[in-house]
Amino acid sequence: MNRLTQFLVLTGLTLAISGCAILHHHQIGEVDSNIVQKGRKFEILLSETGFSVNEAGAILKSTTQSKQSRKDIGQAQAIIEMFQMGPRTGNPVFTDQFADNLVDRVLEKCPSAKVSGLASTRETAKYPVVSGEIVKVSGYCNDKTEE
């Protein structure tokens, strides 16, 4: 096996076994026990891929001895960072609008809008260079009409 193949195998194994989950925020709204008992539970998951330009640049820079290549990598990092946006938690994402339609998604799951126990969680599934930026919303919906 040549050195490049060994490096790629080692990098792949490192990426495969070095992930973790990071909880950034969890919030629970008011709970109406009547809705929780009579209603049905629903869950919505939204996610977007995050990307750490700094981690990717560091890995690339460690693979070269050329000062010019390191400079080029740094310039590429700066350009990519200009197009990343998103929350301050986790890695930046390429679109920060992935959770903008959350209210519409809740109303799709519960058209009656009788919702209780709404809980929202913001977390990151983190791996070297790449992450999954995740928003999870769960709650209870009462679709039954009052008689």
User: Could you report the per-residue pLDDT of 106-141, keeping only the tens digit for each?
Assistant: 899 999 888 999 898 888 888 777 788 888 899 999
SS3 103: helix
Contact 121, 26 (CB under 8 A): yes
Q: Is the pLDDT of residue 19 over 70?
A: no
Q: Which pLDDT score is estimated for 70?
A: 82
CA distance 134 to 46: 6
- Helix or strand (DSSP H, E) at 122: strand 115-126
Q: Where are the chain's structural domains?
A: 19-141
Mean pLDDT of 71-93: 71
User: The whole model's pTM is what?
Assistant: 0.60
Binning pLDDT at 50, 70 and 90, where does residue 147 land? Answer: very low
